[in-house]
Chain A
Amino acid sequence: MVNINNIIIEIRTDGRLIYEEKEDDSMLQATQTLEWLIQQLGHTTDMVNKPLKSNQKEATLVFIKTLVDSDKIQQMIIKPFFEIETRGNFIDYLHSLPDGQEITSQEQMLSELSKGSIVVSMNNYLFMFDIKKVHTNTVPITSLENTVLGPQSSMSEDIHTNINLIRNRYHQPTLTVEMLELGSKSIQSLAVIYDRELVDQTALEQIKYRLEQLNSKPLIQSTAELQRLINGRKVSLFPFFMITERTDRIVYNLSVGKIVLSLDGDPSTIVAPAIFTDFMAAMDDKYHSKLYTKFVQILRYVGLFITLLLPGFYVAATSYNPEILHTELALSVAGSRVGVPYPSYVEVTFMLIIMELLIEASIRLPKTISAAATTVGGLILGTAITEAALASNIMIIVVSAVAISNFAIPIGELNSAIRVLKYVFILFATIAGLAGLTFGLLAIVMYLTNSESYGEPYLKINIDLKSKGEQQ
């Protein structure tokens, strides 16, 4: 093993002696290291080992061609090499470059090379520079969390661009970025971003601990996968992390002391801890006028309850407790069900599943075909099925209302949780009618209040009473 540290220390400490020849063994070390690197990377054809020579100077460049920016090599290293006269001046020049990386070991050099660094060997000195070329740093328009007002661009797939976007919106010296590496094969960079003064320390420790437990995973490719791996629950329906692509949401969360995890190669970031009400908030709640915001928020909760309870309510009201409806309504529901051969729960489940299939189809299919799918689906969910007496007219209204109001929930993960949960309510309603529905609602409330996201209660009414002794 060659001890690289020796060389580095010498480069740093004796500024004056640097131009003179070194003793033999360190020269041997630098050459050996270079040879070792070339040998390790020799099998790939895109490895470049380029010797440079100009009157008295000699240098060798080692890099992987497909990862680095060749213009930058030309501008930064090759051109100055021929312009700068003496060897000493060129080494000084290399020292002054801002992209320089610290060398700690051979293995580190190898792994940096495989991420897009270049190694420059000059006499007995080794330098390493980060000149990777990234093709994923374009910043697209938001696609998942659309808002009417406010910033429109989301995040890129390059972690440095993302950190840049965040830093550009949050100018605080206390903003801390910690870089970790995830996945024993993919070695993906993960940035843990938080405001040092505001952050909840226990939550930070817990998150770091969970991340350390992940060492054995070979590949972690998306933030959604990461959040599933670190949420600590074997089975979970409700989201305990927020996944967002909006920089304004990230910055808002940083300013209230939350922790942001950004994985290289994924435009969405994780925000933790996240509680139930966070998922019911859209970012333009902050941008619109107050009364309008309240109106929209109420609308969202109405949507939540409709999508969750309406199918179950239909089952309960048609098969169990028709007496609770207005007489006219109860009669018209019963009238529209004339000829439907199934009990109401079969009818509801059947129609809902067709609706779910339609939604799945429009997510997965290519855009050109999905139009056909929606047309066909529209036929099924339209008058045809009622004419065939497979479902009642009112059932069609119920299904459409459920489908639409499900999308009133602004964040996707809660959206999908609720999508699953409504079947549980149909089950409760099938067993015990409206009483079952009420118990189901109570059970959900109990489950949500009992859950925690990194020490924060998941569902809780927050009332800020200023007077002494009121808050506990």
Chain B
Amino acid sequence: MSRYFYYLVVVEFVGSILSVIPSFLFESSKKGTIMSMLLALLAGVAFIYWITKFFNHYPGRGLPELLQQHIPKWMAFPILFLFSLAWFIFGLKTLLNYSFLLKRFLLPHLQINWIIALLLLFITYSFFMKTKKLLYTLEIVLFINIPLMIYIIGILYVNTGLDWDYVKKSMMYVYHAPNLLAFSASFLIFIGASNLIIVNREFKNKQKLTTFQILLLCVLGAWILFTNYFIPIGYNGFERIQYINFPWILGTDSLKVALAFLERIMFVFLFLHISVTFVNIIIFWHVSLELLKSTAKLVRRKQKESNMITYIFVLVVWSISLIISMKITESSYLMYARSLFVAFPPFFLLVLIVCWFISWRDKHDNRSLKTN
């Protein structure tokens, strides 16, 4: 696969650490989180496998083009619109969690809506970027961040503050029936590949996902899930960890590297996450915007090039984010996120079904062409 594909997957892996995913995992830590994580690992890797296999069939074409070709317009329109909405919500949930985090740890004196406005100022620029350029940005950000990230996680593993007894204790809860929320939360770290529905337009060469690459993603995913769940337990203890809002930050804050430029590793960690999550939001909203543009193309006959849709999208993003930021609090956010997260796995099942339907229609069309 193109190296940009891995970036899409990895940015989601890394971004998951400071999202709400660990909190949701700890909520059911005595009710089958480990089992759900194992299931989610299988489901996630299978999802990556299927969706890349589908798109590798159609190099250089995104989902909108394929829908246009194989599916009647009245069906394609709601599908594209729904997908666009879904990707918008992915971006929004990440943005909200991100600004709560910023407020708590870096900008305590700014109000949440100012923080969101500040973020949107920078994010808006990305709406006018092309997919390819966005991938270059992603590459540079990851290029700077991943080595530091690996260093920090490495330190976290070898530090004496990590109490493996807690980890062992939490592992005793393995024989429990899986929990839906924990499954959804851990499944969510594998959705990076689904950005292919737009990004595949840039992969014009024939791509191939080899067994080795699947295994690599599988090992990497397992490692990230393991780190995500067990490292905070090792640092914060097992019993009452579900009551901590940002378990990872508290975990990393117990680290001090006296010889480093910044003594408290937590801040390095925060800055890494600020940038990774930032590109994460940008990509989600870029996909959403591109889907919306294709939806508009379906309706309009004239193929006129205009930035109209982008301006509308900017307006929608600003107003919705600011309105929500004024209404929402951290606890209500967690409540909404909980119900949203449960809806995500069925949604990605729908994505796969749409893909499957397209390839079925494609084969069908080919067969009828041959018989004619």
* Min CB–CB distance B270 → chain A (angstroms): 9
Q: Does A432 lie within 8 Å of B110, measured CB to CB?
A: yes
* Min CB–CB distance A207 → chain B (angstroms): 22
Name the A residues within 8 Å of B141 (CB-CB): 442, 445
Contact with B along A431-465 (1 / 0, CB 8 A): 11111101101110111011000000101110101
Question: Is B139 interfacial (CB 8 A cutoff)?
Answer: yes
Chain B positions 100-147 with a Cβ under 8 Å from a chain A Cβ: 102, 106-107, 110, 118-119, 122, 125-126, 128-130, 132-134, 136-137, 139-141, 143
Q: Does A433 lie within 8 Å of B264, measured CB to CB?
A: no
* Min CB–CB distance A424 → chain B (angstroms): 12
Which of A326, A436, A442 has the most chain B CB atoms inside 10 A of its CB? Answer: A442
Q: Does A446 lie within 8 Å of B126, measured CB to CB?
A: yes
Which of B4, B128, B271 has the most chain A CB atoms inside 10 A of its CB? Answer: B271
Interface stretch, picked from A32-40, A220-228, A317-325, is: A317-325
Chain A positions 193-230 with a Cβ under 8 Å from a chain B Cβ: none
Question: Is B274 interfacial (CB 8 A cutoff)?
Answer: yes
Question: Is B302 interfacial (CB 8 A cutoff)?
Answer: no
Q: Is the interface of B mostly helix, strand, loop or mixed?
A: helix
Interface residues, chain A, with chain B CB atoms under 8 Å away: 321, 323-327, 431-436, 438-439, 441-443, 445-447, 449-450, 457, 459-461, 463, 465, 469-472
Q: Does B107 lie within 8 Å of A442, measured CB to CB?
A: no
* Min CB–CB distance B275 → chain A (angstroms): 6
Q: Does B126 lie within 8 Å of A472, measured CB to CB?
A: no
Q: Does A461 lie within 8 Å of B118, measured CB to CB?
A: no
Q: Does B136 lie within 8 Å of A447, measured CB to CB?
A: no
Q: Does A472 lie within 8 Å of B125, measured CB to CB?
A: no
Which of A433, A446, A449, A463 has the most chain B CB atoms inside 10 A of its CB? Answer: A446
Q: Does A465 lie within 8 Å of B3, measured CB to CB?
A: yes
Counting from the closest, the 3 A-B pairs by CB-CB distance are: A449-B136, A324-B267, A435-B106
* Min CB–CB distance A297 → chain B (angstroms): 15
Chain B positions 183-242 with a Cβ under 8 Å from a chain A Cβ: 202-208
Interface residues, chain B, with chain A CB atoms under 8 Å away: 1-4, 102, 106-107, 110, 118-119, 122, 125-126, 128-130, 132-134, 136-137, 139-141, 143, 202-208, 262-264, 267, 271, 274-275, 278-279, 282
Name the A residues within 8 Å of B122 (CB-CB): 439, 442-443, 446
Q: Does A433 lie within 8 Å of B107, measured CB to CB?
A: yes
Name the A residues within 8 Å of B278 (CB-CB): 439, 442
User: How long is the Cα–Cα vector from A449 to B125 in the complex, in angstroms?
Assistant: 12
User: How long is the Cα–Cα vector from A213 to B361 in the complex, in angstroms?
Assistant: 51
Name the A residues within 8 Å of B279 (CB-CB): 442
* Min CB–CB distance B137 → chain A (angstroms): 5
Name the A residues within 8 Å of B140 (CB-CB): 445, 449, 459-461
User: How long is the Cα–Cα vector from A324 to B110 in the complex, in angstroms?
Assistant: 18
Q: List 14 A-B contacts (CB under 8 A).
A: A325-B263, A434-B106, A439-B118, A442-B122, A443-B122, A443-B125, A445-B140, A446-B125, A459-B140, A460-B140, A463-B3, A465-B3, A469-B206, A472-B4
Name the B residues within 8 Å of A434 (CB-CB): 106, 267, 271
Which of B1, B2, B134, B136 has the most chain A CB atoms inside 10 A of its CB? Answer: B136
Q: Does A460 lie within 8 Å of B110, measured CB to CB?
A: no
Q: Does B275 lie within 8 Å of A438, measured CB to CB?
A: yes
Q: Which of B1, B136, B206 contacts A457 (CB 8 A)?
A: B136
Name the B residues within 8 Å of A436 (CB-CB): 118
